[in-house]
Structure formats: structure tokens, C-alpha cells
Structure 1
Amino acid sequence: LMWGVVCGAAASGNFTWSVEDVAKSIVCMMMSGPFLTGYTQTINDWYDREIDAINEPYR
């Protein structure tokens, strides 16, 4: 995932190795993990809601 951010930014043609662009890339890399984890957990909860209602009704 981290290399995907760097490769995508470099392939765009708008990326320069300035401090600002590198800092933006680092922030994107650091935030992508928590955001994707939260997204996948939300999707999992949505699709398992009927099963969870049976197995854990007071959750």
C-alpha cells in the first residue's frame, strides 16, 4: 500500500521531490492504514448484521 501511494504519485507526472510533496505522501501512507481498516470493519459489520443479531443479540 505504501509503495502504491509513492508509485501513483510519481506516475502522475505532478509529483516533485519537494519537502511538501514528500510530506503529503507520508501523511497519505500513514492515514491509509487506519482508514482502510475502519472501512473494511464497517463493511464486515454490515454484511454480518443478520448473523450477529442471532449469535449476539445484545451486542
Structure 2
Amino acid sequence: LIWGVVCGAAASGNFTWSVEDVAKSIVCMMMSGPFLTGYTQTINDWYDREIDAINEPYR
């Protein structure tokens, strides 16, 4: 995922190795972990809601 950010930015044609572009890439790399973790947990909760209603009805 980390290298995917740099590869995608380089493939866009707008990426230069300036301090600003590298800083944006680093911020994107650092934020992608928490965002994707939250997204996958939300998807997991959505698809497991029937099972969770049986296993933990008061949650």
C-alpha cells in the first residue's frame, strides 16, 4: 500500500520530487492505514450484523 501511493502519484504525471509532493505522499501513506482499517471494520460490521444479532443481542 505504501509503495502504491508513490507509484500512483508517479503514474499520474503530476508528481515531482519536490518537498511539497513528497510531504503529501508521506501524509497519504500515514493516513491510509487508519482510514482503510476503519473502512474494513465498517464493512465487516455491516455484513456480520445478522450473526452479531444472534451472538450478542444486547450489543
Shorter-chain TM range is over 0.9
Aligned identity (percent) is 98
CA distance, structure 2, for counterparts of residue 27 and residue 54 of structure 1: 41
Shift of 1:50: 0.6
Secondary structure, in 3 states, of the residue corresponding to 2:22? Answer: helix
Unaligned runs of 5+ in 1: none
- Cα deviations by residue, 1:9-43 (Å, 9 ceiling, x for unpaired): 01111000110000000000000000000000000
Runs of 4+ in 1 over 6 A off after TM superposition: none
Q: May I ask how many residue pairs the two structures share in their alignment?
A: 59
Unaligned runs of 5+ in 2: none
How well do the aligned residues superpose, as a CA RMSD in angstroms?
A: 0.5
